[in-house]
Structure 1
Amino acid sequence: MSQYRTFTATDAVEYARQFGGLSDPASLVDAQEIGDGNLNLVFKIFDNAGQSRIIVKQALPYVRCVGESWPLTLDRARLEAETLQVHGSFCPQHTVKILHYDTDLAVMVMEDLSDHAIWRGELVKGSYFSQASRQLGEYLAQTLFHTSDFFQHPHAKKADVIRFTNPELCEMTEDLFFNDPYQVHERNAYPPELEEFVATLRDDAELKIAVAGLKHRFLSQAEALLHGDIHSGSIFVTQDSLKAIDAEFGFYGPIGFDVGTALGNLLINYCALPGLLAAREAADGREQRLTDVREVWQAFAGRFLALAAEKTRDQALAYPGYGEAFLQKVLQDTIGFCGTELIRRTVGISQVADIKKIDHQPMREECLRHAISLGKTLILAAPHVQDIDALIARIRQNG
């Protein structure tokens, strides 16, 4: 901590010159701070021709939107860099490349993705990327299978669980996903007009027991090295490429949490589209989001089973039929965690552009109601949904 200092743009340029791996480091001359998140400084580094070449990211020792009253560990920079390096070793085509990181300064240098766009922003505009959902499913399958007990040696897995222990950021997830939305809390950020509707979450014993079960699984099931926050804002896309970034919440947890978080953000967009696009475009977009949900799951499950058949090292886990049985449990976890993502993004502090970009206040409130209602439905239905078709049917039934 004694060596830590908060970077300026000048610092970021100099650091990129040292550690960006460029053949012409002196060509780097300028930096622009582009971070719009709550936890970090992010600099885009430009050369003397005005071209963006490198990204420098530094963790801040507090939550940016709250201030120094909410301190955070700087070790998350190491956790992020090492999570992305591990994920990149198994799925390089869909993971941002880490060029360098420094534990003391909590800084990493990574490839520039200026030729990509943030997926959330494109979804808000109604843009469609035909390969993105299947590529996301591939990323999830490769990273989660290869860091699970199906593939890892038990000794290596247990050592990695310790290496990737991430208590402070996990505590943030535990609060924001499983605690805050189901109680009166100063961090909650829904419109006051929804108070009576949101209060039904706090008063629903069946729902709160189901959420408690999901939190318990999050706390106790170290199944694989998760990204930990794999939403549409932490994914960059082009028409033929997808790259995951921002893995500072990485830790060993339940596989369904990553898959559910990914699907939850697609469904937030599904709920928000009537407020973002004209009626016909919104209807078409909602059908596409349901197709995306189906494709993410099918790509994930299909690849996971193929990898399990080819690469499972544990004799018991390799027994015919176990992979399918395991994925049935993962599907139910996925649906439950998907529901908590919908609720925490609408009731809690971590609001997203899909909702915030809706200009018409009554429509925004209606989209929020839909997302909250769908989240509750999925949490309660999770143990009873047997396949992806049944999940899509439940979503349609909710409105």
Structure 2
Amino acid sequence: MHQQLFLQQLAQLPVAPVPFIDSQQCQGFKVIIAGEQADVTPAARFLAAGGATILELVTDLALGGRIPPKLAMLLEDDRRYDALVLVSRAELSLLEKFKQYRNKLYLYRSATARPEQVNLNLLSDEVSRRVMSQQFYLLQHNCYLEGFSEEAGAQYFHPIVHAVAGEKILCIGPYLGKPFQAFSSTSGGDFTAHCLEANPFTYAELCINLVSWGMQTKVRPVCAGAWSGTGMVAFASEGHTGGGNVLALDSGRVVKPGEIDMAIFTYAVDDYVRESGFVPSLLESGRIGIATEVVKGAKDTIIRHRPKMILLDYPDTEAIALIKQWVPDYKVYYSECGRESYGVFFLSV
């Protein structure tokens, strides 16, 4: 019954899918191509062979960051170009970023490997598969039907994956600390936690909140981020997500003044666990767009200690496939948790 209602509502939406572009329709088009380096170059050759004029190739997009200023200026004058072509396996994230240019937005067909289908097949229950399938379909069509899922759930109160008594939690990006209120609720106040909060201004408010809640003996806050590697990094757009265009400052690249917004220290989870001696039984990453990088840096911890995990990310994230590759025994659940453009993956062994 619910599925029939969903389909009826979906049919009434006045929103068309973002179209694909091919060589037959791009004759005479002035095209801007944006995406990942490995995909952008062959797409440009293909469209140019079909008669398109390639105005710009953009490969420095950051999923959690803003549109690069040079590209934003180019897109402002919509008389200069006929099509903005997105070429990326992370098309979901890019569609959201470029939705204001929807009237000239296209996808490049060969780049769409449908990674959400991979994640769909990795989910452990029919409810998760239905919720993810519906949410991904709506997001692909750049629309959202508020409350479409009866199984929306709550991020920290999943029936299987939640904090229990005695839980040791490593929390990535707790923002102002609300996750700890939920952890305290489900564990009966019996938990210990370390958290990495990258933004120093947010970190200060987080510490104030922890003291006001009487949690200063339960939570050890660290003013640092979590990424795939340990070291000093710069963010071209840090924002609320903790994502952005990450530049490793020790990579030898010359970073120009004004090119970055913030420089911070980040840990790979594996390095933090080794240095601190704190081995989590629950790993939570609450910032959208960074789950894959966090997971890459936690490979050893995941394989050796198999913590439960709560990961916010887009349905097409690569993080889940990586985890299942390392530890096939993980059971994976998914809920959109009331989020309009992404959901939450819950994992347990």
The TM-score, its normalising length taken from structure 1, stands at 0.26
Structure with greater proportional helix content: 1
